[in-house]
Structure 1
Amino acid sequence: MEIGGVKITKLEYDIMANTTIAIFEVLERAWASIDCTLVDMKIEFGIDAMSREILLSDVIDSDSWRLWPSGDKRLMKDKQVYRNLKEVTPEALKEVKRNFQWVAKKLDLFIPDSTALVVIIMGSPSDKTRCEIIQEQCHKLELKVEMRISSAHKETADTLNVISEYEGMGIPVVFIAVAGRSNGLGPVISGNTAFPITKLERDIWSSLSTPSGLGCCTVIHPEAAAQHAASILALNDHSLWAKMRVKRLNIWKDLRKADAYLRN
């Protein structure tokens, strides 16, 4: 079968299937954030006339999904209410209208909490280049970032003060420790806060054997540090989680397309 100049093979089918799953999961988490269950939905795909890419070509709303507030079917707020009517009366239509208005108001609550912060603490100014790569990757996910300089070896008290400063802000914070010659910065931070820590290290061997009671994630690439911090904050931010989920979908699509290209 060919649509819009594109032959629909198993690859195209898989792309549509996996895109559908990703879209559902993104919307499911968004609705769950306001205590509403997305039961199911339907969507349609099309072919972009210029790029020949498979795209979502549908409007997803109360005509195409089912919503149960608090997971209670009796409270459904979608078009199923209209379908279930035994008789279409003016009062019944008002109820349908009220349900659609309820959905429209709830959509305003999808705006995510933008207070989350990634704090990059570097041991010295010489670590700035790697920290800027982390910052760039975080900004791509629209994460707020602050960079600080503090040496856990040379000014331990100052490092602890920096940690306390962010602990007192009352917002979600992830620390990323970046040190050039020693792995001490991450464990010192981890030993003095309950907030999550990611360490960016060049020499990882001693970093993999930190003292008991410390929980640092150790990575060697700046991009991985940003990814790990984002994945932690995404646990309580459906919008950030959606960006991470779409990124994973796009990586999968690129790999499948590359494989198909080689085979052909």
Structure 2
Amino acid sequence: MNILTNFTTPQLEKIHQGKVRDSFRIDAKTRMIVATDRISSFDFVLKTPVPGKGAVLNSLAAFWFENTRDIIDNHFIKLLDPSISLVREAEPIRVEMIVRGYLTGSAWRGYQNGKRSVSGAPIPEGMTKNQAFPKPIVTPTTKEKNDREISPEDLVKEGWVSAELYRQMEEAALKLFERGSKMLAERGIILVDTKYEFGLIDGKLALIDEIHTPDSSRFWSKENYEADPENAEQLDKEYVRGYLLKNKKDGRYPDTLPPDVVQETTRRYREIYRMITGKTLPDVEGDVLARIRHNLVQQGIIKDSFVAIIMGSKSDLEHCNKMKAVVEKYDVYCELRVVSAHKNGEDIPRVTADYHTSIEPGAVIAVAGRSNGLGGALAANLPIPVISCPPFSGKEDIMLNVNSSLMMPSGTPAATVVDAKNAALLALRSLNLPRLRHRFDREIAELKEQLRQADSEVRGRA
């Protein structure tokens, strides 16, 4: 699969899902940010993803974070994958600092209608479309359900930031814009406008989110702009916005992109990355999920697989812990959950949501006695192996209640194993991982050898 639309794993807690990026808690000090291939425009997410887009955004932001750290500290720690970054936790400031070098986009549309300021920043009379400002202007907006332009004075008055903090943000934003403009000009690119977001780390101002990417910035070809300023070639997400505007009908934008627009968008994103960094990203035709799984496992962020043990009652915890101990001995992530098929079966989709599309392979062990509806309910709703292991109290309990686990409706493939250790081992074998197959082969060979030795000893020929 070469598209990353969602990242899910039961091993990490998702703490935020944005239009494009998803955040997962690593610990109290760090989080993992996944840049997906989702694309948004005009404040909504399109149904059509753009292959490789997330890797461009994330890797390009990492490039700029490293090349601007001397101006202001930032939250970036390291790349875990072209699409994923490890960052420090920060207290976000709910303000976007937009720096504009040229009169274009919404500022130009407002100017045509007689508007001569943006967020309190004055715009001179007599300017033309795409003309450069005498010097870059800062036009902040609030970060809320519907972002709004706001002057620095009103930001302070409404309590978004203090006057001193705003001064620091404005100073940093202008220096970052100057650095970006200079570096990009050397590569034949004009940084037209961009946005910066800041937060506090240990009480100090730091740059967060992203910087100088095709999603957060507007880029023009310098050569093209000099030849025809009003029709400069755009090297950013504006290509998608243009398609949506052109195909708007009855006041509504299309929510999907045709294959040729997707392909061209991918090409543009990858090309801007190459132009800026001088490097190329992994081929978008590769299996992005396999690549991500490998990279996260190699760096110790996740295990290569999981087994979920779901019990119908907390009273089954001792039985479940026996299986958990076996699973963890094989270096497989194991989590315990509680949900009853009969008492709160409506929660099964919520409890098992991550298992459907998890980046790593997994299996489920269902623990419920008497009338076991849990194993069947899980097997009917999950695309991964489900094994029932009821917490029988003895042989009589087995004889009375085992049929509720053995007899499943058609299309409900739940296996049943009575012994807790065997249930855990079957779950592990169902993962079909090469490293586990090799280990089980060794254990089988060791068991055979032990039996041969026992035979020799009993026979008296040891």
- 1:232 pairs, out of 421, 424, 430, with 430
Hey, what's the Cα distance between the residues in 2 that align with 1:180 and 1:205?
11
- Contact 2:355-2:382 at 8 Å conserved across structures: no
What per-residue deviation string (whole Å, max 9, x for no partner) do you get for residues 109-159 of structure 1? 9x7993310000000011111100001111121211000011111111112
Q: What secondary structure does 2:334 align onto?
A: strand
Amino acid at match of 2:348: T
Give the superposition deviation at 1:194. Answer: 1.3
Give the superposition deviation at 1:250. Answer: 1.2
Amino acid at match of 1:160: P
Hey, what's the Cα distance between the residues in 2 that align with 1:238 and 1:253?
23
Which of the pair has the greater relative contact order for Cα pairs under 8 Å at 6+ separation? 1
Give the superposition deviation at 1:263. Answer: 0.2
Partner of 1:164: 353
What per-residue deviation string (whole Å, max 9, x for no partner) do you get for residues 35-83 of structure 1? xxxxxxxxxxxxxxxxxxxxxxxxxxxxxxxxxxxxxxxxxxxxxxxxx
- 2:327 pairs, out of 138, 147, 157, with 138
Alignment length (residue pairs): 155
Runs (4+) of structure 1 exceeding 4 A deviation are none
Aligned residue runs from structure 1 range 49-128, under 5 A? 114-128=303-317
| Structure 2 residue 437 is the aligned partner of structure 1 residue 248 | no
Q: What secondary structure does 1:121 align onto?
A: strand
Q: What secondary structure does 1:158 align onto?
A: helix
Hey, what's the Cα distance between the residues in 1 that align with 2:322 and 2:345?
26
Hey, what's the Cα distance between the residues in 1 that align with 2:328 and 2:359?
22
What per-residue deviation string (whole Å, max 9, x for no partner) do you get for residues 164-193 of structure 1? 232233321101100133211000001111
- 1:185 pairs, out of 349, 361, 374, with 374
Highest Rg: 1 or 2?
Answer: 2
| Structure 2 residue 401 is the aligned partner of structure 1 residue 209 | no
- Structure number with the higher strand fraction is 2
Supply the RMSD in Å over aligned alpha carbons: 2.3
- Contact 1:178-1:200 at 8 Å conserved across structures: yes
Amino acid at match of 2:417: V
Hey, what's the Cα distance between the residues in 2 that align with 1:239 and 1:115?
10
Amino acid at match of 2:402: I
Hey, what's the Cα distance between the residues in 2 that align with 1:194 and 1:188?
12
- Contact 2:375-2:388 at 8 Å conserved across structures: yes
- Contact 1:200-1:225 at 8 Å conserved across structures: yes
What are the ranges of 5 or more consecutive residues in structure 2 without an aligned counterpart?
1-294, 393-400
| Structure 2 residue 394 is the aligned partner of structure 1 residue 176 | no
Hey, what's the Cα distance between the residues in 2 that align with 1:123 and 1:206?
14
TM-score of the superposition, structure 2-length normalised?
0.32
TM-score of the superposition, structure 1-length normalised?
0.55
Hey, what's the Cα distance between the residues in 2 that align with 1:116 and 1:134?
16
Aligned residue runs from structure 1 range 3-22, under 5 A? none
Hey, what's the Cα distance between the residues in 2 that align with 1:248 and 1:182?
35
Hey, what's the Cα distance between the residues in 2 that align with 1:222 and 1:231?
14
Hey, what's the Cα distance between the residues in 2 that align with 1:232 and 1:171?
13
Q: What secondary structure does 2:384 align onto?
A: coil
Hey, what's the Cα distance between the residues in 1 that align with 2:355 and 2:405?
24
Amino acid at match of 1:260: S
- Contact 2:304-2:332 at 8 Å conserved across structures: no
Q: What secondary structure does 1:177 align onto?
A: strand
Partner of 1:153: 342
Q: What secondary structure does 1:130 align onto?
A: helix
Partner of 1:194: 383
Hey, what's the Cα distance between the residues in 1 that align with 2:405 and 2:337?
21
- Contact 1:197-1:215 at 8 Å conserved across structures: yes
- Contact 2:342-2:373 at 8 Å conserved across structures: yes
Partner of 1:260: 456
Hey, what's the Cα distance between the residues in 1 that align with 2:428 and 2:319?
17
- Contact 1:152-1:185 at 8 Å conserved across structures: yes
Amino acid at match of 1:206: S
Q: What secondary structure does 1:182 align onto?
A: coil
